[in-house]
Structure 1
Amino acid sequence: MAPGRGGLQPDAITALAADAYVYGSPLVRQLSAVQACLREGCGMLAPAPFNDFAHAAGPAAPGTRVPFAPADLVDALAQLDLSGGPVRLHVPDTGGAYYVLQFVDAWGNAFAYLGPRATGTGEGDWMVVPPGWAGTVPDAVSGVIDAPTSVVSVVGRLACDGPDDMPRVRALQQELTLTHLGDRAHRTGLPATESGVPGELRFFEELRVWMADFPPSAADRAHQDRFQPLGLLEEGLSPYVSAGPALVGALGRGLALGRLRVEEAARRPADATGGPQGAWQTVPHLRDHNLDHFGVGTLDSPEWTIPDRDASYLVRAVAARRGRWLPHGYEALYAHTSRDSRGRPLDGAHRYVLRLAPPPPVRAFWSLTVYDSPGGHLVVNAAERYAVGDRTPGLVHGADGSLTLHLSAQRPKDPAQEANWLPVPAGAFRPVLRLHLPEQALLDGHYVLPPLERRGT
């Protein structure tokens, strides 16, 4: 069926195209990122071919031009192609140190985790297998990870306690390996789209080609059938090469409408915590859109799934827009704020106190990092301290177990305050609190992060 036919008027085509953007933008964003990682690299990571890890040289530091990059984690990233068969993943023994490997399918669904919460910190070998695989599993492997799509991103984060800890991290990087076990050659790139498609229809062409090569779950396919009048289910030659001006206009308006819908939802996420002035903002349920694939380390429970499948498509689109490859809230919770307890913007011209009584309840670790605003970058400070948390040596706790952190551009004169000091930029700044393996009290709101209190003028 030619796109736009079947009795649909331009306004109906526009509305359907907007729905298609909400539904399909996570696939296009995810695979565009995969393509970029293969060709140009990603953030602090150099490009790497399919089925090979790219490793960061260390945690983020001043000069790292990646917004809000963590100062106490080292990134690892691999793009898996399983079209030629399974891949064997070797995970080293981290000696109890935190790490996580998060598996994300082509549609942006986090469908498996390896790490202390899910599988412990010991050495292991895992088989990552393509959809429908029915081969023999070797006795020596720790388990099987069933991939929903033949291309998968493995997003790794290794805890690092500073420059002196990097030799340990580098040794782990050397042992984190992938071996292609398939009996056929795997891809060297993603399926190609038609070259003659007008630029304004490029999104629909990418969605058409990639939907066919990376089909979603059966439940989503039923939803996908609605987009037949747009040409998204056409095979072979692209229907967009010779699309008429009326169809191009209707699709273009739908694309703009869909983008606006996602942008508005991203600015006002329904599950973000609100609260009083200066309250920390968290979005623990941004990854709950995965409704079909629950592998190792994922939680298939009402608390962590969205009951309305249609509503899940918008959440998935917002997740792809706001934070690609962020984990589920039960793996890590990220909190941020830009104002103090009286609603005033945070600025390095002032001093601030954050009193944690008690410190946040986590099973792994928590840390606080400060970035400039609006850039989201680390700023050089004389102390060369860019994160403070429960792994920071020498912190001074109160007699009741509380911890008071001091945030200021100038070094405190009191030695006790200096021990708990986190330098901030001279101008506007934004602190980010990362809570790895948060306890239930953090997730259900029984533990409330206190706002920053401004001291002095």
Structure 2
Amino acid sequence: MSRMNRCVYALATIGMLGAAAPLHAADANPYPFKQGYPTQAASQHVRADEVLQRAIVAYRFWYPTVSIEGIFNGNRSVGIEDGKQWGLAAAGPRQIGFTLNSDTPYGSGVIDLSEGPVLIEIPPGPFIGLVNDHNQGWVTDMGLPGPDAGKGGKHLILPPGYQDKVPDKSEGYYVAQSPSLKNLLALRSLPLDGNLAKAMAAFDGVKVQRWTPQGMTGSALQAVDTTKLALDSSSLKWEDNIQFWEKLDKIIQEEPIQPKFLPMYGLLQELGIQKGKPFAPNAATKDILTRAARLGRDQMLVSAFDSQRPEIKNWQDRHWEWVGLVPGTAQFETPAGIDLDARDRWFAQAIVTSPAMFRRDAGAGSLYWLSARDSQGVYLDGGKQYTLTVPQPVPGKLFWSVTLYDAQTRSQVQTDQDKAALRSLFELKDIDTTKPVVLSFGPKPPKGDASHWIKTVPGRGWFAYFRIYGPEAAAFDKSWKPGDIVRQ
């Protein structure tokens, strides 16, 4: 019997596959020792506990890896092939994905480096883009937050281990190297004049093609418009069951080992996932891994929606919270190490990372605040009516929006209204910017003008994101603040 199977057998033997009670200091010692040695009961209990504990830690660490595979799978589900096509969408509620929004059209696709470097050419214009590796690690920024600063540029993405000579910045290239073979290209075209069609057409100037020192080779990625398609770019269908581990194993087998993650690969090995070996869990192992997925997911959601960190609020008299808790970093780095709680919070509700996304100064490309509670601190309920008063003008050079998300799917609320956002470039473009605007949320339209209303679903919780693009100093120094969401 393998060590993994012995551990699982021990877990089943002492009943840990059922409801597990947390250990407290006041509890009787579950690990009795005699003359300095573990008793048989202690060994059984330790082996049982460590399997579940290691699986939960592994789940939370590798969650971003499986989550980005969900993005890839969303495109694949509508026939978009890795490394051959990419999808474009003026996204709406029909596109399921963690806190996707309707503010700007998206372009996304798999950059496959298995056959060599790929060149992403972006024309001048209001683009915001990035490349993330297969673990949602930051590789590079493009467009306004990138080194080309919106002036257009050639972004050359190198595969892991690539050492041949490459062009430099003097030749108009910006070079970045990824540690993984498959990467996510995510690009947004900003509709600064409120013209979505024009913003979508701007993608025509983007070219993604394989690169060699001798020049371009092969065909450029073909664009596929997915605006009207109902696709799921999330990991929801995998995140609470054995499929999470199956998807993770597939990625581990396909990608090179990243040395900085060696301890976490070791953790997976203890669970039966190891590069070069088949993942073949028995029924008991599947049970414990499924349990770990459910517990790990729920623990992450507590970080997302019930954080107790005091620095989470920009204004202590409001329930708006910072979504990103570690300002100005790409991977939640602090002088003391990686902030794992901040990492969990982000990836439980959002996707992709970049240092530009987490800046808290007037040079930031955008900012994100979250509110999951009303003015009394009660979670927002899809069956109740609410208002939000937004003082004008909002301190943003470009535009702002409020978007509603379903708490369970972390995706835009879906109703027959087919609307989840109120945006300064669209629904709110004609408001009087000399006085506050009142927005309404609930299952029924407000009395009178319903143009500033988003419909919600009874029986389902929801939360809101307040986004400002091109935020100005007043958004950070507390001289401006939005109202709380108030139940009517």
CA–CA distance in 1 between the matches of 2:421 and 2:153?
33
Aligned to 1:442: 475
Matched letter for residue 367 of structure 2: L
Give SS of 1:144's match: strand
Question: Are the equivalent residues in 2 in contact too, given 1:87–1:181 (CA < 8 A)?
Answer: yes
Listed as ranges, the matches of 1:160-171 within 5 Å are: 160=191, 165-171=195-201
Taking a change above 3 Å as real, the CA distance of residues 287 and 104 of structure 1, as seen in their structure-2 partners, is farther
Give SS of 2:269's match: helix
| Displacement of 1:174 | 1.1
Aligned to 2:175: 144
| Displacement of 1:11 | 2.6
Match of 1:52 among 85, 88, 103: 85
| Displacement of 1:81 | 0.5
1:106 aligns with 2:134: yes
1:171-196 deviation line (CA, Å, top 9, x unaligned)? 3111112011259999x9xxxxxxxx
Listed as ranges, the matches of 1:111-150 within 5 Å are: 111-118=139-146, 119-138=148-167, 140-150=171-181
Match of 1:356 among 391, 398, 402: 391
Aligned to 1:324: 351
Matched letter for residue 264 of structure 1: V
Aligned to 1:194: none
Matched letter for residue 407 of structure 1: L
Matched letter for residue 306 of structure 2: R
Aligned to 1:406: 438
Q: Percent identity?
A: 18
1:366 aligns with 2:403: no
Matched letter for residue 101 of structure 1: G
| Displacement of 1:204 | 3.6
Q: How many residues align?
A: 404
1:261 aligns with 2:299: yes
Question: Are the equivalent residues in 2 in contact too, given 1:284–1:443 (CA < 8 A)?
Answer: no
CA–CA distance in 2 between the matches of 1:3 and 1:249?
17
Q: CA RMSD in A?
A: 4.4
1:211 aligns with 2:249: no
Give SS of 1:172's match: helix
Taking a change above 3 Å as real, the CA distance of residues 432 and 229 of structure 1, as seen in their structure-2 partners, is closer
Listed as ranges, the matches of 1:42-441 within 5 Å are: 47-56=80-89, 58-60=90-92, 69-94=100-125, 97=126, 99-118=127-146, 119-138=148-167, 140-160=171-191, 165-181=195-211, 202-215=243-256, 217-233=258-274, 235-236=276-277, 238=278, 240-241=279-280, 243=281, 247-248=285-286, 250-269=288-307, 270=309, 272-273=312-313, 279-285=319-325, 290-291=330-331, 305-309=333-337, 311-312=339-340, 315-325=342-352, 328-330=357-359, 331-337=365-371, 341=375, 352=387, 354-356=389-391, 359-369=393-403, 376-377=413-414, 380=417, 387-389=422-424, 393-398=429-434, 403-408=435-440, 409=445, 422-425=452-455, 432-439=465-472
| Displacement of 1:261 | 2.9
CA–CA distance in 2 between the matches of 1:371 and 1:231?
36
| Displacement of 1:318 | 4.1
Matched letter for residue 176 of structure 2: I
Question: Are the equivalent residues in 2 in contact too, given 1:361–1:439 (CA < 8 A)?
Answer: yes
Matched letter for residue 329 of structure 1: F
Give SS of 1:29's match: helix
Question: Are the equivalent residues in 2 in contact too, given 1:288–1:306 (CA < 8 A)?
Answer: no
Question: Are the equivalent residues in 1 in contact too, given 2:143–2:152 (CA < 8 A)?
Answer: no
CA–CA distance in 1 between the matches of 2:53 and 2:463?
38
Question: Are the equivalent residues in 1 in contact too, given 2:124–2:152 (CA < 8 A)?
Answer: yes
1:16 aligns with 2:54: yes
Gapped regions of structure 1 (runs ≥ 5)? 189-198, 292-303
CA–CA distance in 2 between the matches of 1:106 and 1:257?
24
Higher RCO, 1 or 2 (CA under 8 Å, sep at least 6)?
1
Gapped regions of structure 2 (runs ≥ 5)? 8-42, 222-239, 360-364
Give SS of 1:9's match: helix
| Displacement of 1:82 | 0.4
Question: Are the equivalent residues in 1 in contact too, given 2:104–2:189 (CA < 8 A)?
Answer: yes
Taking a change above 3 Å as real, the CA distance of residues 350 and 51 of structure 1, as seen in their structure-2 partners, is same
Give SS of 1:155's match: strand
Give SS of 2:455's match: coil
Matched letter for residue 210 of structure 2: H
Deviates more, 1:74-83 or 1:25-34: 25-34
Question: Are the equivalent residues in 2 in contact too, given 1:279–1:341 (CA < 8 A)?
Answer: yes
| Displacement of 1:114 | 1.2
| Displacement of 1:151 | 0.9
Question: Are the equivalent residues in 2 in contact too, given 1:385–1:423 (CA < 8 A)?
Answer: no
Taking a change above 3 Å as real, the CA distance of residues 64 and 378 of structure 1, as seen in their structure-2 partners, is farther
Question: Are the equivalent residues in 2 in contact too, given 1:79–1:151 (CA < 8 A)?
Answer: yes
Taking a change above 3 Å as real, the CA distance of residues 346 and 361 of structure 1, as seen in their structure-2 partners, is farther
| Displacement of 1:438 | 3.1
Question: Are the equivalent residues in 1 in contact too, given 2:122–2:143 (CA < 8 A)?
Answer: no
| Displacement of 1:390 | 6.8
Question: Are the equivalent residues in 1 in contact too, given 2:192–2:425 (CA < 8 A)?
Answer: no
CA–CA distance in 2 between the matches of 1:437 and 1:121?
13
Matched letter for residue 302 of structure 2: E
Taking a change above 3 Å as real, the CA distance of residues 205 and 407 of structure 1, as seen in their structure-2 partners, is closer
CA–CA distance in 2 between the matches of 1:453 and 1:200?
37
CA–CA distance in 2 between the matches of 1:372 and 1:251?
27
Taking a change above 3 Å as real, the CA distance of residues 224 and 92 of structure 1, as seen in their structure-2 partners, is same
Taking a change above 3 Å as real, the CA distance of residues 426 and 103 of structure 1, as seen in their structure-2 partners, is closer
1:214-253 deviation line (CA, Å, top 9, x unaligned)? 34643322343344333333523x1x43x55665555454
Question: Are the equivalent residues in 2 in contact too, given 1:68–1:376 (CA < 8 A)?
Answer: no
CA–CA distance in 2 between the matches of 1:76 and 1:285?
27
CA–CA distance in 2 between the matches of 1:440 and 1:212?
47
Give SS of 1:111's match: strand
Taking a change above 3 Å as real, the CA distance of residues 200 and 430 of structure 1, as seen in their structure-2 partners, is closer
TM-score under structure 2 length normalisation: 0.67
1:357-381 deviation line (CA, Å, top 9, x unaligned)? 5x34334432235679987147649
